[in-house]
Structure 1
């Protein structure tokens, strides 16, 4: 396991002077794309001393439209993600959607991510816990932060103590989300790292076009508020050209805007710690 991840789950003795970053494209579109994004984010995180976990989904199972892009093939996508992560000596993460996928993906990644819509699926959580990998559970858009203790308990029942929780907004009406920042300290009461998903929390779902919308201009606002309320990590999906992304382009951060954002967030973290 990556040294940072070992520290993260060693009685929470990691360096809280910084925050860690989970970032990458929404989905593995190609090897070239994952390399491009990983190289840029890796360079910036090294510059600002931010621990970095590479993220890309090998498959997108939750799509509004049946014709939407889902991936380039499960094993191919996982192999690319692992190859890029190893090239930069990074830990990596991806979504899983069913019990058999837990064991399959665990061969390639360090962190298994449970999508928000699936955070109550007991068998999926148990299968993820059984792999011994770190399990990051996204809070359902329909749940309170306090109710996420049951997801943590399910994973811990397998003997796996390596759990993280991610706040990603709460459904507001039919086509919007809001973020309740009280959920960050509430979920931290489970003695787990808590992450703010700065991009999916800005989604505008259920559009009549069949394509989820978003509001990426607010990514900095969401991230800054999360740092101010003590989030351990940030989750940011990013792409060189979100307008051409094959999944979730409407809420991703343009890659060349990441450096400016990280500069502000690092300063903000230091200000709040002092």
Structure 2
């Protein structure tokens, strides 16, 4: 993987994409980045800081969507420069690719949009790395076409795929770990999203639920199967997070979890 500022990349270890769901404010972003960087430096885990500058996919009309696109993107850029970290954020429409690209190192395609050809092409044309989340309605083998769309526009693009579970009924998800090796067969690194895969979407209350107590289970299994990276949303106090608090990992539990996962990785390499 060739992402600027991605340090300590080692085939014997996984990389981590982590941060809060949304950029809520500058102080919180810096607090989370500093804490995660300290932990990942300790364990030699390459780290990409994650934060969404806007939440376009929300259940209710009055749900929090962001603090403003450019202010949030400027915070992401500042975090990346201050801590010398690569950063990743979601884009939702084709014209957002060029807007977001100057601020981050990786453009992420949300799961619901992984088939949007124009969006994938726009991300590829920026020259940034592209992380495509597997749709909840997609199989691992079918994601090869999404990779193909990016590489058609930019044959040198760095692409990786992220699994975040598959729809299981109307309000739950289930992880099919066959998707990890099946997506690796496309010749790209594969990430397991350990928090969104535990969402309970489309609840009648209008607020997405989750099962954060199973984050460790999802993460351990993914590493054991051979995932190249993990995606974990984390927050000092998920109960007051403005987005996806129901399935985020409390920040103070991250170190113990990563310590276990490093041992799992060492056991299988």
Question: TM-score category by the smaller chain?
Answer: over 0.9
Answering whether residue 4 of structure 2 is matched by residue 2 of structure 1, we say: yes
| Matching residue of 1:67 | 62
1:183-198 paired onto structure 2 within 5 Å: 183-198=179-194
* TM-score (norm. length: structure 1): 0.95
Answering whether residue 177 of structure 2 is matched by residue 181 of structure 1, we say: yes
**d(CA) in 2 for partners of 1:201, 1:4:** 25
| Matching residue of 2:87 | 92
Answering whether residue 141 of structure 2 is matched by residue 139 of structure 1, we say: no
Matched positions, count:
266
C-alpha deviation, 1:15, in angstroms:
1.4
**d(CA) in 2 for partners of 1:140, 1:116:** 4
Answering whether residue 153 of structure 2 is matched by residue 158 of structure 1, we say: yes
| Matching residue of 1:201 | 197
- Note the residue ranges of structure 1 that are not aligned, 5 or more in a row: 8-13
Answering whether residue 229 of structure 2 is matched by residue 233 of structure 1, we say: yes
C-alpha deviation, 1:85, in angstroms:
1.3
- Note the residue ranges of structure 2 that are not aligned, 5 or more in a row: none
| Matching residue of 1:169 | 165
Q: Structure 1 pair 162/229, CA: closer, same or farther in 2 (3 Å)?
A: same
C-alpha deviation, 1:161, in angstroms:
2.8
Alignment check: 8 A CA contact 2:5 2:86 kept: no
Answering whether residue 129 of structure 2 is matched by residue 127 of structure 1, we say: no
| Matching residue of 1:109 | 104
Q: Deviations over 1:217-251 (max 9, x none)?
A: 00000000000000000000000000000000000
1:23-34 paired onto structure 2 within 5 Å: 23-34=18-29
| Matching residue of 1:265 | 261
C-alpha deviation, 1:213, in angstroms:
0.3
**d(CA) in 2 for partners of 1:4, 1:37:** 18
C-alpha deviation, 1:3, in angstroms:
4.8
User: What is the DSSP-based 3-state SS (H/G/I as helix, E as strand, rest coil) of the residue aligned with 1:4?
Assistant: coil
| Matching residue of 2:77 | 82
1:212-231 paired onto structure 2 within 5 Å: 212-231=208-227
**d(CA) in 2 for partners of 1:57, 1:154:** 23
C-alpha deviation, 1:4, in angstroms:
3.2
| Matching residue of 1:242 | 238
**d(CA) in 2 for partners of 1:15, 1:240:** 29
* Aligned alpha-carbon RMSD (Å): 1.0
* TM-score (norm. length: structure 2): 0.97
